Amino acid sequence: MVFYKTDDEIELLRQSNLVVSKTMAEVARWMKPGITTRKIDEMADRFIRDHGGVPGFLNYNGFPKSICISVNSQVVHGIPSGYILKEGDIVSVDCGVCMNGFHGDSAYTFSIGEISEDVMKLLRITKECLYLGIEQAKEGNRVGEISWHIQQHAEKNGFSVVRELVGHGVGKDLHEKPEVPNYGRRGTGVIMRKGLTIAIEPMINMGKKEVKQEQDGWTVSTVDGKPSAHFEHSVAITKGKAEILSTFDFIEEVLEQNK
């Protein structure tokens, strides 16, 4: 069942997504060589709680940490650990916050120091895929428009789209209907109506589209060991263009200061 939100409920979603966005900016401050992903998770957990939220991922279906941190060939659901970040890594961070009964959800892929030009292109194209998808998230369009535009942009630039993991509705539950694939055909999927809130999240691989689950039961990685990138926003469908409830502005201010 698809749940449509009132204006007041969308305002609550905006508040939880604001805490997500500010948490991600705090994460950005620590994204440097020499820090463990476990330490970043601890910082994020503390920041979320200090700002009136609860980590949305902690204990979700048994997930053991507060944010997902996926490095290099890890696509999503990486468990923070003793891994020490090093120059040239890319790090996808997925963060969820529950506040006032509603979930915020956003993801961003960071580069640690200097990265190669082809990996830089992967990050740029994946982010472009996200915003092209958001452009199609408007009343009267079908979800397939989002999917088709993301897939076309990724593939024409020589990258591949993960099939097994998709975007989703977001609200009182972290994952609601409808699913929002990053691949597919135009004219298919649910018709989007005002009040629908969804998380759009392209997961784009440098090499093959196929993925595998690691032995920890959570981490999903590329089968060929090549890098993967992940960017995500939560958005609300309105009469005109979609309203983006999360923001990368705070992250990018910090990254600019870190240069």
Provide the residue ranges of all domains of the chain, joining segments of one domain with +.
7-258
- Reduced to 3 states (helix: H, G, I; strand: E, B; else coil), residue 213 is strand
Sequence-separated (6 or more) residues with CB below 8 Å from residue 166: 179, 180, 181, 182, 201
**pLDDT score of 240:** 86
Burial 10-44 (b: 16+ CB within 10 A, else e): bebbbbbbbbbbbbbbbbbebbeeeebbbebbbbb
Q: Is residue 258 pLDDT above 90, yes or no?
A: no
Distance CA 206, CA 225 (A): 9
Q: Which fold has domain 7-258?
A: Creatine Amidinohydrolase (3.90.230)
Distance CA 38, CA 82 (A): 6
**Tokens at 17, concatenated:** 């997504």
The total number of residues shown for the chain amounts to 259
Average pLDDT score over residue span 127-137: 98
Q: Is residue 102 pLDDT above 90, yes or no?
A: yes
**Percentage of residues in the chain with pLDDT exceeding 70?**
100
Greater confidence, 6 or 240?
A: 6
If phi > 0 it is left, if psi is from -120 to 50 it is alpha, else beta; for residue 187 that is left
Average pLDDT score over residue span 136-144: 97
The model's pLDDT over 187-232, given as tens digits with 9 standing for 90+, comes to: 999 999 999 999 999 999 999 999 999 999 999 999 999 999 999 9
Query: Pairing state of beta strands 233-236 and 243-244?
Result: antiparallel
Q: Which of 243, 242, 165, 237 is nearest to 2 (CA)?
A: 237
Average pLDDT score over residue span 179-190: 97
